[in-house]
Every structure is written in C-alpha cells, then in structure tokens.
Amino acid sequence: MVPWNKEAFRAGLRFVKNRTFSMFYREYEQLLEKEILSSEIPDHIAVIMDGNRRYAGQLGKARSFGHAMGAEVTEQVIEWCYEIGVKELTLYAFSTENFQRSEEEVDGLFNLINEKFLKLYYDKRTYEKEMQVRVIGDRTKLPAFLTESVEKIEKATEHHQNFNLNVAIAYGGRQDIMQAVRDIAACVSSGKLSLEDVDENLISKHLYPAPGVSVPNVDLIVRTGGDERVSNFLPWQANGSECATYFCAPFWPEFRKIDLLRSIRVYQARKDEKNQEQSYRVSKVVNFLRVGKYGEKGEELGQLLPVKKQGVS
C-alpha cells in the first residue's frame, strides 16, 4: 500500500486547480476580446500604473522587485494595446511627486526605465510596428544617462506613425499647463503672438512634448491598485474630452489582459449611453418641430434648450 503523502496531494490539487482556472481564463479572455472588437476601440488610452510597492510588500520582497515585475507587465500592455487596435498609449511612469521617495528607490527606477528604453531601441518589433516613442515631462530633472537613452529612442522612431507610445517621466499635470502658459506668455511678450492668438488649440500645442506634436485628448484612463483618483495626470487632455475612467483593484504587476479588455468595455458602454442620450434628444427636437404646438410642448422645449446649445437647431 502506498503511504499517504499530504504534500504531494496538495501539490497535485494546486496543479489541477491552476490548470482548470487557466483554461477558464483563456476562454473568458477570448470571448471578451471578441465582444470588444465588435465595437469602437478607444484611440488613446492613458494608464496610471499603481501598486508596484504594495505588491512587493505583500510578498515580503524589496520595492525594486515590485517595480521590476511591473515593468514586465508594461511590456505586455504595450503589445495588447497594439494588437487590439489602440492608436496611442500614455503611461505614467514617474511623477514629480515620486522625487520625494528615497534616493535609492529613485535611482533604481531611473535605471529600470533606462533599461526598458534601450530594450525598445534594440527590439526589432519597435520598427516592425512602426511605433513612435516619446517622453513627456520635465527632462531637466532626469539624469544624463536617461536623457541620452530618451533622445536615442525618440530619434530612431520619430517618423513612425502606426502606434504612439508616450511615457510620462518627471511629469505633473499642473506643471505641464504652467510651462505651456509661461511659453505662450514669452511669445506674446516678444511679439511672436498676440493675445487674440491664444485659444485652446494654441495651449494644446505648447503642452508636453513641446516642441512637437502634443499629446491628444484621452478617451480612457485606467488606474490599478484600488485608488479612485487620477493623480494630476493629463488634466488638459482628459477633462476637456470627458474621457471614461476605469479603476481596478489589482496591483500593476497583477494586471491582466482581461482587466484591459474590461476597461475598454466600460469605455464602449459609456459611449453607447452618450449616443443613446443624444439620439433621444434629437428625436425630441424632431417631434417638437413636427407638432409645432408651443403651448402644449412647453415642458419639452425646456428639456431641449441644452441640446440647442450644442448646435442642434
């Protein structure tokens, strides 16, 4: 008779459980991807990659371990976005507030970011995808070796137009707007611009990366790690476009393709709701004009005033 081995039994049980879950996960992922591909894909997704340090802490590991695992997920997310047809991806890699962390952690992050930029530079897939890589943020705060790698990858991909990857380093949304305002004020003071030239388009052109084509409006912001806030990330591009937001619990190193697909499904559902609301309002306008009885339709006219402000007549 074979002696009872508790550890072997537990190992076998874990194997069966993981294999079953893996099969279910793949099927669900395929169904979800098929569903979201049948509708409109957001052109521009921005991601706040939060939770690396907490993930490492839960495992009893150093913070550098969490950042390294998060960097691996970042590479996968770039691939997933490209595969499903996203045109632009902006990643919040290092904020201006992150400089308050320990010197050891900041140096480790800059070294890790530098390593990933060099990997992109030498990876043939960067050129096969025609992926343009740009950095947004205050470059004067970056170490020389990282600035050199940034300029290297930007120069190598500057003519690519198929997929845009923006990496926010030493970035803050208010700081971005402030530097744009200062730049515009200097142009007005020197006579290169007049006050009448200043409008939304002009301000957008002076946002990071300036000079150059500015980051466009965001369609969807994704934040991991459980916090429901956007942390001063792309305020001009996000608030102006009323973009969708998706907050999820997994820490960034735990982020899966399913989570990305779910975020896109939220964007699509919000888009459908707005389209239905607009269609309803337009139908009310048509019915009102058809009946033409202002006395009987006074209440409906009051409901239509916001629509007329949007240009529907």
Give me 15's structure tokens: 């194997």
Max Cα–Cα distance, the chain, nearest Å: 95
Q: Which residues pair with 300 in a beta bridge?
A: none
Q: Which two tokens stand for residue 260?
A: 């990305």
In the Cβ-directed half-sphere of 309, how many Cα atoms lie within 13 Å?
Answer: 5
Q: Is the peptide bond before 42 cis (omega within 30 degrees of 0)?
A: no
Among 18, 43, 50, 232, the one annotated catalytic: 50
238 membership: H or E segment, kind and range: helix 235-239
DSSP assignment string, 5-49? -HHHHHHHHHHHHHHHHHHHHHHHHHHHHHHHHTSPPPSEEEEE-
| Direct distance between the N- and C-terminal alpha carbons of the chain, in angstroms, rounded to an integer | 87
Q: Which of 5, 18, 43, 98 is catalytic?
A: 98
User: What residue numbers does the annotated binding site cover?
Assistant: 50-54, 63, 67, 95-97, 99, 101, 223, 229-231, 242
- The single-letter DSSP state of residue 215 is P
The neighbouring-strand residues paired with 171 are 95
DSSP string covering 87-125, please? Answer: -EEEEEEEEGGGGGS-HHHHHHHHHHHHHHHHHHHH-HH
Active site residue 239: no
Residue ranges of the annotated binding site for substrate are: 51-54, 63, 67, 95-97, 99, 101, 223, 229-231
DSSP assignment string, 162-184: SEEEEEEEEE-HHHHHHHHHHHH
198 phi/psi in degrees, rounded to 5: -80, 115
Cβ–Cβ under 8 Å, residues 168 and 46: no
* Residue 197 falls in the annotated catalytic set: no
Taking alpha carbons only, the member of 134, 309, 133, 193 closest to residue 203 is 193
Which residues are designated catalytic?
Answer: 50, 98
